Structure formats: C-alpha cells, structure tokens
Chain A
Amino acid sequence: ETGVTQSPTHLIKTRGQQVTLRCSSQSGHNTVSWYQQALGQGPQFIFQYYREEENGRGNFPPRFSGLQFPNYSSELNVNALELDDSALYLCASSGSETQYFGPGTRLLVL
C-alpha cells in the first residue's frame, strides 16, 4: 500500500457536467501528478503540482485544471465533460524520485 488515497472510487456523470476528483498524497511527499488512463492504454500525464504551483502540463485542454493545498493534497477538476473523458484517473505522489500511485477514480461520462 502506497499511502496515496483517492476519492471517489467511481463516478458517473453526463456530458457537459463538471467533476472534481481528490487525492491525498503520501506523508512527506510534496509533489502530486495526475494521469488519465483510457481503456487499453497506458497512463497519460495531465499535470503536476509542486508546493501548490503547477509544475508541468501534458497535452490536455484548459478545461482540465487542478489545485494543490498546503497539506499537499490535490484536486483535479474537469469542466464541460465529454464522452472521451471516460477513463481511470490516477494520482501519484512523490518526494524525490519515484512516483507512487493511488488506486484511481473511474469516471464514466454518459
């Protein structure tokens, strides 16, 4: 067990809605990264937060946004949901080298 937790575990939304996913990082880790894993694919980097600032972003549109809080927990917000946003959303925390992943939130957009 990595100590990284995510909520909720599953979520169903309809197209056009907004969603907020949450992640609590492992104790002592100040960096959180978010990934999207579509069915049959590897995880794709969305963005990373380091000490409450965005520290790198992948090829995702601005309707994907995030926050990191002083306790290093993080949120991923997705606006104007599209059907293709259906995926497993993974959060990973790191202190120096290795990223440790949470169990993920499975989002289904109908």
Chain B
Amino acid sequence: DQQVKQNSPSLSVQEGRISILNCDYTNSMFDYFLWYKKYPAEGPTFLISISSIKDKNEDGRFTVFLNKSAKHLSLHIVPSQPGDSAVYFCAASDRESNFGNEKLTFGTGTRLTIIP
C-alpha cells in the first residue's frame, strides 16, 4: 500500500525555467510533509517542509504547496539550476498521533534533470 506517491519517475527542465514536482498521499492522518533531495552516493538532504495548517511555505528558490482536500503537494523550484539535478523524495508523517516518533513515509522519488 503506497501511501505516498510520486507518479513521475523523471522530469527534464530547461535551466532557468520552473521545475514542478508533484506528490500525492492517501493517509488523511498525515500532517507534516517534507521534501528531500538526493545525489548519488549520498544520503537524502532536507530541502523544505510544510505543516498541514499551512498551504504554502517558501525558502529561497523552493516553494512547497499543500492542497489538503486533494491530498496533493508540489515543490516548485525557480529558477532551476544545473545543481538541482538530483532525485527528489516527498515524505510525510503523522505527528499528532505519533508525537515523538517521527516515522517518515517516503514516495519513490522523481529524478529531475536540468538541461543547460
């Protein structure tokens, strides 16, 4: 049962344009969402997070949007840069029910390639 889904295994975007990565979830108990970026031979690097009480969170070039009614979130990167080429994972947790146990449920990842 895949509770967090990233339906696009790969995405190619021209340098300077906007990259939009999508994530859907099925568990309505999820109340905290994160995006991680992963380069080969490295562990995932935290990018940005959003709590379910918000619908948008911005940090520099990265913005995460949350649509709770659709159980959908997206990560926008603008402008896209060659160093953004990596695998991006969406993750979710149910913090209210599992306070102190921040079990993360991950999607399968989207490989983003920025074309110079």
In angstroms, how far is the closest chain A Cβ from the Cβ of B46?
5
In angstroms, how far is the closest chain B Cβ from the Cβ of A28?
16
Query: In this complex, what residue of A is CB-closest to B90?
Result: A42
A14-29 contact mask (Cβ, 8 Å, vs B): 1 or 0: 0000000000000000
In angstroms, how far is the closest chain A Cβ from the Cβ of B24?
14
Interface bracket on A: 20 to 34
Contact B42 A103 (CB under 8 A): yes
B26-58 contact mask (Cβ, 8 Å, vs A): 1 or 0: 000000101010000111111001000000000
Contact A40 B108 (CB under 8 A): yes
Interface bracket on B: 20 to 34
Whether A66 sits at the interface, judged by CB under 8 Å, is no
**CB neighbors of B among A40-64 (8 A):** 40-45, 48, 50, 55-56, 58
- B102 contacts which of A33, A44, A90, A101 (Cβ < 8 Å)? A33
Contacts of B91 in A (CB 8 A): 42
Contacts of A33 in B (CB 8 A): 102-104
A94 to B106 Cα, complex, angstroms: 17
Contact A56 B108 (CB under 8 A): no
Contact B41 A45 (CB under 8 A): no
- A98 contacts which of B4, B46, B106 (Cβ < 8 Å)? B46
Contact A99 B104 (CB under 8 A): yes
In angstroms, how far is the closest chain A Cβ from the Cβ of B28?
19
- Given contacts A4-B43, A48-B101, A55-B100, are A98 and B109 in contact (CB under 8 A)? no
Question: Which of B41, B49, B107 gathers the greatest number of chain A CB atoms within 10 Å?
Answer: B41
Contact B98 A56 (CB under 8 A): yes
Contacts of A73 in B (CB 8 A): none
Contact A41 B108 (CB under 8 A): yes
In angstroms, how far is the closest chain A Cβ from the Cβ of B70?
21
A11 to B91 Cα, complex, angstroms: 27
Residues of B within 8 A of A (CB): 4, 32, 34, 36, 41-46, 49, 89, 91, 98, 100-109
